[in-house]
Structure 1
Amino acid sequence: MKRKISNFLSQAYPFYYQGKELYIITGLLFIMTLLFGYFFEPFEVYQPEHKMGYFWITLIHSCTPVFMVLIFFSLKISSFEKENWTIKKEIILIALFLLFVGIVQFLIRDIIYDNPNNWSLQYFYEELRNTFLVGILFAFILVPVNHHRLNTKNVKNANALNISKSTATIANEISSYINELDVDSENILYAKAEGNYVELFLINGSKILKRLTMKSLENILDSYSNYIKTHRSYIVNMSQIDSVSGNAQGYKLLLKNCSNIIPVSRNMISIFNEKMNSH
């Protein structure tokens, strides 16, 4: 049992806290918190000490985590290991977030409640407890369900790509010398961005370091249909893909005669599927 839990916690999980997805999650969090708090009234309330109607109190409590999400992730987003995100890291992040939300809920009690003991340890404990109870309930429902949904979807699609690949051979490019890279086009296995440099991994096992950006490399390889960007840091020679596997974060590529696993990020999956199926 302990090993199963450990294996589950170490599984890959998509990092949602950036760009458009962050705003979608924030909106869902607000709606779920508002509806749950208003209609279910999960905690005992003493109306005589309320400074406003219960709906407005629920609205304030629902807005607090929204503001905390935007502040929390705008300050810390760059420090997260997005590419190696796991269920364990997701749960730890949620726990830290709930702690901060609970503290803020305690600090705004004077706005909502007319109670001389607002700043007591009792109410500090109650706000933390209530925040964690609701947050953990949502997390235990949403995290496993979302992980299972994404993992099942990507595994299924990856298997379909493998079946399609086994019945049709991806055409090799006609060998041509790429002057900018000083290498034949068919000899590149994959490329990986390293800061202001790009590493070219060749089919013979060697590698070449070039001083150029990933965007520049994309432009150079644009006329070669066998190359596709699978991730912000990777470009792959599609004719060298041996197999495709899936997890909650996206796909993982195993290339011929190469032990390195190449990721296909979630935002590149649709483009990758289309290009793989078109060959």
Structure 2
Amino acid sequence: MKNKIIKYLSQPAPVNDKPWLSVVLCIVVVLFILAIFEPFNFTLDSLGQFWVLIGFALTTMLVSSVAFVLLPWVFKKFYVPDKWTIGRSLLNNVFILIIMGVGVVCYDYFIVMKQLPQYFPMGFLVDLFATLTIGIVPLSIITIINQNNTLKRNLHSSKEINQMLSERVKSLSTNNEEFITLKGSIRESISLKTENIIYIESEGNYVNVYNKQDDKITRRLLRSTIKQMEESLQNYPMFIRCHRAFIVNKNYISNTKGNAQGYQLTLYDISQEIPVSRTYLKSIKDALQ
């Protein structure tokens, strides 16, 4: 059970690529909830209360801008699209709810209500819980919109790539006798026909080189990095970096699929699907064209 949960949380997830739209949506939803449902003893029945409502909007704009715009800009390594997972997304959403909830409740308590210190602890926590509950609504809407937009974009890109694949001439039987020597970091190396290398996968401090030989797929382990492999193959245009952990031979690409989590390549003679990062999507399109 534990392993299943870890595996699920480790699956890739779409990154929010429209942060300012998320900020606007949060403001609209908060204003709608306050004006229609009137929580926290708020009643929109006077000009003074209207300005209180504007204050809530400005507070929401401030804290949501911090959550959706400032944090991804400051902590760029945490928000890397290629490493974004369901687990990181859930953790990020919880954090967003907390800072938005604290911001809105602090505005309500210390500026609108001017609450006395003796009423602070329990009442503050109750209202914070209510705010977090309300905040789930806009955050859920943002997540759904982001997933749908990502799905549409990925399906469209996959359709374009598959169209390119259908128009190209398959060139697996070129009888190319050229060999390449891939060198490791401890004076080890392997020599293989370039046309027989299907793909290379990073595994810690090693790389797995998948090679087709006599109609059989072999795996050769080499102590090296995917970056070193990319440099070794830079003069061979059939090899494309498609992910931080994968290099593929474009002549073996048979199909591509897109979903809300990203792209996957299907290769001839291999059952495993190869992930494609958005970072390298243009490189694949250019190589296939």
Common topology (TM > 0.5) = yes
Deviation at 1:176, TM superposition (A): 1.4
Structure 1 alignment gaps of length 5 or more? 1-8
The 8 Å contact of residues 72 and 79 in structure 2, kept in 1 or not, is answered as no
1:122 corresponds in structure 2 to 123
1:162 corresponds in structure 2 to 162
1:42-191 alignment, distance < 5 Å = 42=35, 43-44=38-39, 45=42, 55-68=54-67, 70=70, 78=78, 85-86=85-86, 90=89, 93-95=92-94, 97-103=96-102, 105-106=104-105, 111-113=110-112, 114-116=114-116, 119-133=120-134, 135-172=135-172, 174-181=176-183, 182-191=191-200
1:235 corresponds in structure 2 to 247
Report the number of matched residues. 259
1:3 corresponds in structure 2 to none
Pick the structure with greater CA Rg: 2
The 8 Å contact of residues 14 and 262 in structure 2, kept in 1 or not, is answered as no
The 8 Å contact of residues 106 and 124 in structure 1, kept in 2 or not, is answered as no
Deviation at 1:100, TM superposition (A): 4.9
Deviations 1:179-220 (A, max 9, x none): 234222112110112233222111232222223322221121
Name the SS of the counterpart of 2:126 in structure 1.
Answer: helix
Say yes or no: does 1:216 pair with 2:228.
yes
Name the SS of the counterpart of 1:212 in structure 2.
Answer: coil
How many angstroms apart in 2 are the aligned matches of 1:79 and 1:140? 19
Counterparts in 2 of 1:215 and 1:91: CA distance versus 1, 3 Å = closer
Q: CA RMSD in A?
A: 3.8
Structure 2 alignment gaps of length 5 or more? 1-7, 184-190
User: What is the TM-score with the length of structure 2 in the denominator?
Assistant: 0.71
Deviation at 1:238, TM superposition (A): 0.9
How many angstroms apart in 1 are the aligned matches of 2:206 and 2:153? 34
Deviation at 1:31, TM superposition (A): 3.5
Deviation at 1:163, TM superposition (A): 4.2
The 8 Å contact of residues 15 and 81 in structure 2, kept in 1 or not, is answered as no
User: What is the TM-score with the length of structure 1 in the denominator?
Assistant: 0.73
Name the SS of the counterpart of 1:224 in structure 2.
Answer: coil
